[in-house]
Chains A and B, each alone.
Chain A
Amino acid sequence: MSAPVLGDALGPRGRRRVAIASVLASLAIVYLVWVAFRRLKDAGQLDAAQWELLTRPEVIRFFLGGLANTLKAASLSLVLAATLGGLLALGRISRSIPVKTAARAYVEFFRAFPLILLIFFNFFALPYAGINLSRYWSLVVALSAYNAAVFGEIFRAGILSLDRGQSEAAMSVGLPYWSVMRLVILPQAFRRMTPTIVSQSVTLLKDTSLGFVVGFEELLRVGQIAGEFGRNPLQTLSLVAVFYLIVNFTLSRVARHLEIRQRRRYQAAPIEVAGVEDLVAVGAAAEAQQPKGH
């Protein structure tokens, strides 16, 4: 990141220009930070009293409860989505046409819907069918169902990215289908998919904040309640934002690190779906792997 991406080393005049631009840009940044600071200070938002509330033990306990709920929903959804996604991927590459069609229909269905609507639906509509899900389960069911479609496409892309010779060699030594999958294909595919899985986990963690809309007391809802109670929403909600920022930044770094290591070790590009966070793009990445694969 240190050297400019475009062009090579600059001459004396170019260096002078860059130096002047650097000074101007630094001044502009300092000015913006100063404006923000003044604005916060003038509105009394930097007063110790506004922040002191956040250090009270009962407020801290309240936030930790929200954090626990967020992590609980995220981890359970992750496990459910990965399991169901694995089945979907196997369905999509299966040789049986009905199975293939069903798996494809599932993915297409979730492409059409915003996740927030699925959560609303679980909470407000399912009771009409006699199914009463709690706020927690409304969130977890929607997150798992949606992310199963995403993970299914990621797994499919991973499996299809392997060289055809791998499965052919495994079959030619007489292994049955499931052993081919279990012993040869899946371990290799999984390794390639790890960076993508980690970055999709970031998206999933971000999406747990949608539990807010049905009143599930995850981190964001907790931040809003605490803010209303203490009349300091700016402080409590900023705290929530900073929490997400730190955790997701770390996870994204891990994903990038895995990606680079993998590229070095296997000379294989990862499955390029990271960060696009759209089911259409994930599906397209899987299609792109197709000609090489089965």
Chain B
Amino acid sequence: MEVVLSHLGAFAGAMRTTAELALASFAGALLIGVLIASFRVSPVAPLRAAGTFYVETFRNIPPLVLLVLFYFGFTKIGILYSEFVSAVIVMAVYTGSFIAEAVRSGINTVARGQAEAARAIGLTFPQSLILVILPQALRSVVPAIGSLFSALLRNVSLASVIAVHELAWLSVRLIADTGRPFEILGGTAAAYLMMTLPTGYVFGVIERRTAIKR
């Protein structure tokens, strides 16, 4: 236990990095997800095809393959970012495909009459999507997005592979340094719990606040 306590500063720093990775990727993933979901329900066929292509591609390739390809392969065509930014881009692109699917299923739950009514008062497709459909659709997928966030929080540990100093990286490093693997593992588990538990709470609050009362 004292091994963990004596490295509290390191743990706090790594937790911060993990949180930053997760929040930055999540912001990107939300933007991508909503955009791609809009593409997938659009009346414009090429956009629908592009949306489907995006989702099927990134959902089916392991995130670690994407990360290694992006970090080690894309340098060859002059795409070169820091470790942190690379991890954020890859995790946003990967998680974005899942959020797109969640949002699309939310759009499908919005009653048909809503879209018809929007059209009847003369809104164009983008207007009815942004003003009428999406606000209702996003509310219904808060729980799904919450569980995607908690998956993302654990998935950003992949960044340890390219030596971003987050929790998984720190854990391996400390095991080697201190030779006390079980205490370190317990500390890491506690650190992850300290981050996932408040997340569940926050999404619970958002869910209650945004619930449609019928």
Contacts and interface: CB of A to CB of B under 8 A. Distances in A.
Interface of A: 1, 4-8, 10, 14, 17-18, 21-22, 25-26, 29, 39-40, 43, 45, 111-117, 120-121, 124-126, 128-129, 202, 206-207, 209-210, 212-213, 220, 223-224, 227, 232-234, 237-238, 240-241, 244-245, 248-249, 252, 275-278, 280-281, 284
Nearest to B102: A276
Given A10-B43, A224-B72, A227-B72, A124 B65 contact: no
Contact of B154 (A4, A45, A113): A113
A211 B171 CA distance: 18
Interface string B87-104: 000000000001001100
Interface in B170-214: 171-172, 175-176, 179-182, 184-185, 188-189, 192-193, 196, 200
Contacts, number: 183
Contacts of A206: 60-63
B17 interface: no
A43 B76 contact: yes
21 contacts: A6-B41, A6-B115, A7-B116, A25-B46, A45-B76, A112-B189, A113-B154, A114-B155, A116-B157, A116-B161, A128-B180, A128-B182, A213-B64, A233-B73, A237-B68, A238-B73, A244-B60, A244-B62, A245-B60, A278-B150, A280-B150
A234 B70 CA distance: 9
A257 B187 CA distance: 44
Contacts of B116: 7-8
Contact of A39 (B47, B78, B151): B78
Contacts of B193: 112
B76 A210 contact: no
Given A5-B41, A213-B161, 20 more contacts: A6-B43, A6-B107, A7-B118, A25-B44, A45-B77, A113-B189, A116-B157, A116-B158, A124-B172, A124-B181, A129-B182, A220-B62, A223-B68, A232-B76, A238-B69, A249-B60, A252-B60, A275-B101, A276-B144, A281-B144
A207 B155 CA distance: 11
A165 B112 CA distance: 36
Interface of B: 41-48, 50, 52, 56-57, 59-66, 68-69, 72-74, 76-78, 98, 101-102, 107-108, 115-116, 118-119, 124-125, 128-129, 133, 143-144, 147-148, 150-151, 154-155, 157-158, 160-161, 167-168, 171-172, 175-176, 179-182, 184-185, 188-189, 192-193, 196, 200
A152 B26 CA distance: 29
Contacts of B167: 117
Contact of B133 (A6, A237, A276): A6
A237 B172 contact: no
Contacts of B180: 128
A237 B64 CA distance: 11
Nearest to B63: A206
The 4 lowest CB-CB distance pairs between A and B, nearest first, are A125-B181, A248-B60, A114-B154, A206-B62
Given A5-B107, A202-B60, A227-B73, A117 B157 contact: yes
A120 B45 contact: no
B77 A43 contact: yes
Given A5-B107, A7-B116, A207-B62, A25 B50 contact: yes
Given A112-B192, A280-B150, A29 B46 contact: yes
A7 B119 contact: yes
